[in-house]
Amino acid sequence: MNTDFRLFPETASTIAGRVDAVYLFLIALTAFFTLLIAGLIVFFAVRYRRGARVDRTKGHVSLWVEVSWMVAPLPVLLFIFFWSTNVYFAMQRPPAGAMEVGVVGKQWMWKIQQPGGRREINELHVPTGKAVRLTMISQDVIHSFYVPAFRVKQDVLPGRYTSLWFEATVPGEYHLFCAEYCGTDHSRMIGRVVVMSPSDYESWLSGSAADEPPAVAGQKLFEQMRCDGCHRGAEGVPSRGPPLEGLYGRPVPLTTGETVIADDNYLRESILLPTAKVVAGFQPIMPTFQGQISEEGVMQIVAYIKSLDEGGASRDDGP
C-alpha cells in the first residue's frame, strides 16, 4: 500500500503549475460560495424561526437585487472561461521542434518508441527542458494516457491518432496510468515516466543496442510493401500514385473537390483505406493495407513520409 499519502501529485511539467492555478481558483471560488450560502441558510433559519419576533412583511425582493445576482457572476465566469481556454490551448499546441515519440496502447500495455528508434514497454524516458510530443494510437479499445505529475491526460483511440505534449521539469520517476477502463487488466496497465537530465538521457540512449529510427524502418516497410512501385515513378514517367516528397503538412486537393491537410491521420487513413480520400488527378487503384501492417509499422511509414523532402532525399529528423 502506498503510505506516503499526499493531496496533490508532484508538479513536474511546465504546464502543471498553470493547471493547478485554475483548479485551486475553482476550488476557492466554490468553497467561498458554499460557505456563504450555507452560512446564510443557517442565519436565516435561526433569525426567522417560528416564534421569533421579526418583521415578516417584506416578503419580496426588488428587481435590482434579482438582476444583480444574475449579472454579477457573468464577468467571473467569463474570466474563468478565457483563463482556462488559454491553458487548454497551451496544452493542445506543441511547440515547434518537439521530440516525437510514438505510443501504441493495447490490452494491457504501452508500447513506446523513442525518436531515435529505441523501444520501451510501459516506460518512457524523457529529458528535462525539452518539449515531448506523443503521437498515440490504440491497437484495440480506448485507453487513456495519463501522467498526473505532468497534469496531462489524453484518450488513446483505435483507428485515429491523438497526441499529447509536455515538457518535464524535474528529474524523477512518475506514474503513468491508463485512465480509461479497458478490460480485465485495466488497473495493471500502468508504467512510469522517467525524467532525466539531458546528459543522463543521452547516456541512457547510448547505453542500448541501437534500434532503427522510425523513418528508416518505415522506408524498409515502404519498399517491402512495394509502395515505391506507384509512388516513386521512374524518371520522366508519371507515377500512378501521388508523389510523397514534401507532402506532410501540405494541403491536398481531392477528387471530390475538397482539400485536406496531409497530417498524420490523413496519411494513416490513406495507407489503410486508400479509397476514402482520393487525390485529384489519380485513380482509386491503390489496394488497402488494412490488417497487413501493424500500428507501429504504419507509424514508421508515416515517419518515413514525413522525412521526405521536396527533392526526394530523406530529411534528418533527429531527436
164 belongs to the binding site for ligand CUA (CB under 6 A): no
DSSP code at position 54: -
Strand partners, 109: 106
Q: Which is nearer to ligand CUA, 103 or 189 (CB)?
A: 189
180 belongs to the binding site for ligand CUA (CB under 6 A): yes
Of 118, 143, 151, 268, which lies in the binding site for ligand CUA, with binding defined by CB under 6 A? 143
Q: How far apart are CA 248 and CA 310, in angstroms?
A: 10
Of 16, 132, 182, 194, which lies in the binding site for ligand CUA, with binding defined by CB under 6 A? 182
Question: String of b and e for 80-112 (b: at least 16 CB within 10 Å)?
Answer: eeeebeebeeebeebeeebbbbbbbbbbbbbbb
H or E element at residue 58:
none
167 belongs to the binding site for ligand CUA (CB under 6 A): no
264 belongs to the binding site for ligand CUA (CB under 6 A): no
Q: Which is nearer to ligand CUA, 184 or 206 (CB)?
A: 184
**Minimum distance of ligand CUA from residue 108's CB (angstroms):** 6
186 belongs to the binding site for ligand CUA (CB under 6 A): yes
What separation, in Å, do the N-terminal and C-terminal C-alpha atoms of the chain show?
38
16 belongs to the binding site for ligand CUA (CB under 6 A): no
Among the listed ranges 47-55, 81-89, 93-101, 175-183, the one in contact with ligand CUA (CB under 6 A) is 175-183
**Minimum distance of ligand CUA from residue 140's CB (angstroms):** 9
268 belongs to the binding site for ligand CUA (CB under 6 A): no
Q: How far apart are CA 273 and CA 197, in angstroms?
A: 42
**Minimum distance of ligand CUA from residue 135's CB (angstroms):** 17
Q: How far apart are CA 96 and CA 114, in angstroms?
A: 17
295 belongs to the binding site for ligand CUA (CB under 6 A): no
Q: How far apart are CA 175 and CA 312, in angstroms?
A: 42
189 belongs to the binding site for ligand CUA (CB under 6 A): yes
- Grid coordinates belonging to 45: 433559519
Q: Are 105 and 295 in contact (CB under 8 A)?
A: no
Residues lying near ligand CUA in the complex (CB under 6 A): 105, 108, 143, 178, 180-182, 186, 189
